[in-house]
Amino acid sequence: MLQTPQRTALSGPALIRLLARLADVDVPESRQSLSDRLSQWFGWTDAIALSSALNGNPPAVAVAAGARAFGSAEEADYLRARSSLAKAITGDSVFAVARRHGSMHASSQSVPTEPAADYAVFRQRYLAIQQSMETGIGNLRGRLRAMLAARTPNMARLAVVDAVMERALSERERSLLAGVPALLAGHFERLRAAEQAALAAAEAASETASDAAAPTPGAWLNLFRQDMQSVLLAELEIRLQPVEGLLAALRSS
């Protein structure tokens, strides 16, 4: 049975811990505070904009007549968007686990050849889902921010801060998350190589022990599909955090 390497447990988001395990690397805990790390991502114009949003007078709030208050409709909108994105990941045919029946034995006559798997297909699908997440969550974030800006001066200030943070960090976030498929490429190749070695060893053993069992051909690919799904779902959780923060502010206002 194929197993991924075990590494020292890390704290932090599930996405980071999962990638560290799948990429087969030890990642040291950062000694920098969150504020110090964020400051490295801000340009001087971003810093000025954030300082102005935090230290300036709260924006004036003008609530339009008939403006809809936050309530169950917005909660349902969030849950619907979250569910739709999660289903796009778990229901994607590229990540569907192939069903196999019966037992396989290691011999050149009885072991079927697994069709060649092309990682480019997985990479392109991962990037497409990332784009869907970015667009869908960005639109939802903008709608919630507009509602927040129409509540109170302090809530309007928070909406401005969120807009500044999104503008300042979006490019960096996009760049970092775009590197995830490259990390998974190594995992893809390691799993494939491990199964090939196991099959070869089982076939060699079958020459002296006819009942020697071999790994099921293609099991590595099913494991990879499951791992890629897990990474995408963990990334979805990361991307939704700003939205959940806006929702929490709206519930409390």
The model's pLDDT over 60-72, given as tens digits with 9 standing for 90+, comes to 665 544 455 667 7
CA distance 191 to 111: 18
Phi, psi of 136, rounded to the nearest 5 degrees: -65, -45
CA distance 222 to 86: 19
DSSP H stretches of helix in 92-118: none
Burial group, residue 28, by CB count within 10 angstroms (0-12, 13-18, 19+): exposed
The model's confidence at residue 248, banded by pLDDT at 50, 70 and 90, is very high
66 backbone φψ class: left, alpha, beta (φ>0; ψ -120 to 50): left
Please give the single-letter amino acid code of residue 95.
Answer: F
Domain spans in the chain, listed from the N-terminal domain onward = 43-58+69-98+118-252
CA distance 205 to 231: 36
196-221 burial, b if ≥16 CB within 10 A, otherwise e? eebbeebbeebeeeeebebbbbbbbb
Tokens found for residue 192: 């494939």
Query: Which 3 state secondary structure label does DSSP give 213?
Result: strand
DSSP labels for 225-237?
Answer: HHHHHHHHHHHHH
Mean pLDDT computed over every residue of the chain? 82
Assess whether pLDDT exceeds 80 at residue 58: no
The model's confidence at residue 193, banded by pLDDT at 50, 70 and 90, is very high
Q: Which of 83-92, 96-105, 191-200, 213-222 comes out lowest in average pLDDT?
A: 96-105
Q: Which of 37-51, 130-144, 172-186, 189-203 comes out lowest in average pLDDT?
A: 37-51
The model's confidence at residue 113, banded by pLDDT at 50, 70 and 90, is very low
Which residues are bridge partners to 67 per DSSP?
none
Q: Which residue has the tokens 């917005």?
A: 74
DSSP labels for 152-166?
Answer: -HHHHHHHHHHHHHH
Phi, psi of 105, rounded to the nearest 5 degrees: -120, 150
The answer to whether residues 165 and 172 touch, using CB atoms and an 8 Å cutoff, is: no
Helices 219-252 and 72-90: crossing angle, nearest 10°? 170
